[in-house]
Amino acid sequence: MDLEKLILELFAVEGIKFGNYTLKSGIEAPVYVDLRVVISYPKLMVEVSNFLWEAAKKAKGSFKTICGVPYTALPLATCISVKENIPMLIRRKEAKGYGTKKLIEGIFNEGDGCLIIEDVCTSGSSVLDTVQALNSVGIAVTDAVVLLDREQGAVDMLKYENITLHSICKLSHVIEVLEKHGKIDSDMVSKVKTFITENRFKPPSSIDQLPKKVLTYGERSELCTHPVTKELFKIMHEKETNLVVSADLKTTKEVLQVLKKIGPHICMAKTHIDIIEDYNPEFVTQLCEIAKKHNFLLFEDRKFADIGNTVKLQYSSGLYRISDWAHVINAHSVPGEGVVKGLKEVGLVKDRACLLIAEMSSLGNLATGDYTVATIKMAEENKDFVVGFISQKKLCDDPTLVHMTPGVKLECGKDSLGQQYLTPDEVIGRRGSDIIIVGRGIVQAHDIVKAAKAYQQAGYLAYQQLLP
């Protein structure tokens, strides 16, 4: 079977449909691709897997196993595995959250290469989820094969993660073939083409993709209209630091001692006020004094995640009265815009700022793909209060929005509870984030001042190297 025939067959079984569809992300689309139907047509399924295996021959890296992205590509990978006698792995989607279940089923050795099999790619985020799961058990991935590339950013997104995507056909080619055979009219062809260009998921910035002129922190401070980011970038510029310490300690004394010592090296201190066992309002007074003396801001990592009315109360009232002292707070976007609106009712009049959690550092977290995209949109629509993101990389080019990244250590690695570490150089230099958040790398160091200085230098040097 040639590719044209395959496309026509996929259309005939309604794997590709045209009309008005609302996608998972809420976006209206003139085309809908759902290749799950293929399992009901075994001959077609074998054809599709033959095409995928042909594409696999273009893989640059070597691989000992293949792994289908759950679920649609699972039977496709199975067909290939059986026909080509290549062992298969299964990524268990449900293992998220159930620590005892294996994330990857099948036999492998650390360092083995694996080829990813996928049916359809949009932004590439599903492939990446599977890659991350494989990487977490020591399996290397260099290539992925996909039947249909919707041309909405997957190639660039995966390239950024050092993965080459080999597609059998692109959506623009599919519509050309269908038009040629009179299956769709030219109106639909132009609608789909417009849709493709208007809905491209932007890959994260990397050094070679960053705009030529990288703004200094000083210049960004000038551009900011929100008082908190204006001040933050000014501090970063003056103190030459993009380091935030995460003071996750259990007593007021320990927190204050750490901040007194490393105050000169940080632009902000992040707290988890509910960890402290001997909390008293006097603590906050002292905290504010140290912050003022050493010129850094206070960020309570409260991760608000309830309906607007509740977060409003949690922010302003209770034992900690967070809005009275924290310049910055953060929130999950999962409840919808109400969470921002509720917090804003308290914070706006006090000139406070909020960061939205667009991505997390922990293994198997769900803040990926469409969730991240929707979070970016929520931030962009509330810039009077939302001043940036907690993320694992730069997500948008607006220089007045700040990107802060937790999960940072001088050496990559992980802890026993799912935390995954990146280096300051990777976070600032390669992923284009603005700020490194470091907890145990500093507070558990033998010499905390020496450690803080080392992180300050590493983070700042990575930033300086980006400047023209």
- Please, which residue, 270 or 327, has the CB nearer to ligand 5IU? 270
328 binds ligand 5IU (CB under 6 A): no
Selected binder of ligand 5IU within 406, 424, 432, 459 (CB under 6 A): 406
Which tokens go with 445? 């160091």
419 labeled binding residue = yes
Torsion of CA 229, 232, 237, 242, to 10 degrees: -110
Tell how far CA 383 is from the center of its chain: 20
* Peptide bond before residue 71 is cis, with ω within 30 degrees of 0: yes
Name which of residues 384 to 403 contact ligand 5IU (CB under 6 A): 390
CA 428, 434, 438, 442 torsion: positive or negative? positive
Round to whole Å and give the CA distance between 249 and 448. 13
347 binds ligand 5IU (CB under 6 A): no
Which tokens go with 346? 């308290």
- Of 112, 119, 301, 434, the catalytic one is 301
Q: How far is the CB of 356 from ligand 5IU (least distance, A)?
A: 10
- Cβ-proximal residue to ligand 5IU, closest one: 439
Name which of residues 33 to 92 contact ligand 5IU (CB under 6 A): none
CA separation, residue 34 to residues 8, 11, 37, 434, 457 (Å): 15, 10, 7, 39, 49
Total binding residues toward ligand 5IU, as defined by CB under 6 A: 17
424 binds ligand 5IU (CB under 6 A): no
407 labeled binding residue = no
Residue among 144, 127, 132 nearest 66 (CA): 144
124 binds ligand 5IU (CB under 6 A): no
Residue among 239, 263, 259 nearest 248 (CA): 259
Q: How far is the CB of 368 from ligand 5IU (least distance, A)?
A: 12
- Please, which residue, 104 or 437, has the CB nearer to ligand 5IU? 437
Q: How far is the CB of 415 from ligand 5IU (least distance, A)?
A: 7
437 binds ligand 5IU (CB under 6 A): yes
Residue among 167, 159, 109 nearest 134 (CA): 109
Q: Is 301 exposed, middle or buried (0-12, 13-18, 19+ CB in 10 A)?
A: buried
- Of 34, 306, 370, 425, the catalytic one is 306
Selected binder of ligand 5IU within 103, 184, 357, 452 (CB under 6 A): 357
360 binds ligand 5IU (CB under 6 A): yes
Residue 426 DSSP label: I
Helix (H) or strand (E) holding 170: strand 164-170
- Please, which residue, 221 or 246, has the CB nearer to ligand 5IU? 246
- Please, which residue, 127 or 442, has the CB nearer to ligand 5IU? 442
Whether 301 sits among the annotated catalytic residues: the reply is yes
248 labeled binding residue = yes
190 labeled binding residue = no
Contact call for residues 48 and 76 (beta carbons, < 8 A):
yes
Whether 2 sits among the annotated catalytic residues: the reply is no
Type of residue at 456: Q
Which tokens go with 379? 């931030």
Neighbours of 278 (CB within 10 A): 9
Neighbours of 211 (CB within 10 A): 9
CA 220, 222, 226, 230 torsion: positive or negative? positive
Selected binder of ligand 5IU within 161, 248, 345, 370 (CB under 6 A): 248
355 binds ligand 5IU (CB under 6 A): no
440 binds ligand 5IU (CB under 6 A): yes
Selected binder of ligand 5IU within 206, 310, 400, 419 (CB under 6 A): 419
Whether 447 sits among the annotated catalytic residues: the reply is no
193 labeled binding residue = no
Tell how far CA 48 is from the center of its chain: 31
Of how many residues is the chain composed?
468
Contact call for residues 361 and 406 (beta carbons, < 8 A):
yes
407 binds ligand 5IU (CB under 6 A): yes
- Please, which residue, 7 or 356, has the CB nearer to ligand 5IU? 356
Round to whole Å and give the CA distance between 160 and 123. 12
Given the rule CB under 6 A, which of 142-150, 218-226, 354-362, 426-434 is the region that contacts ligand 5IU?
354-362
Radius of gyration, CA atoms only, the chain: 25
- Please, which residue, 194 or 444, has the CB nearer to ligand 5IU? 444
Given the rule CB under 6 A, which of 32-40, 140-148, 232-240, 357-365 is the region that contacts ligand 5IU?
357-365
Q: Which residues are annotated as a binding site?
A: 248, 270, 361, 419, 439-440
Q: Which residues are annotated as a binding site for substrate?
A: 248, 270, 361, 419, 439-440
List residues binding ligand 5IU (CB under 6 A): 246, 248, 272, 301, 357, 360-362, 390, 406-407, 419, 437-441
Q: Would you name the residues annotated as active-site residues?
A: 301, 303, 306
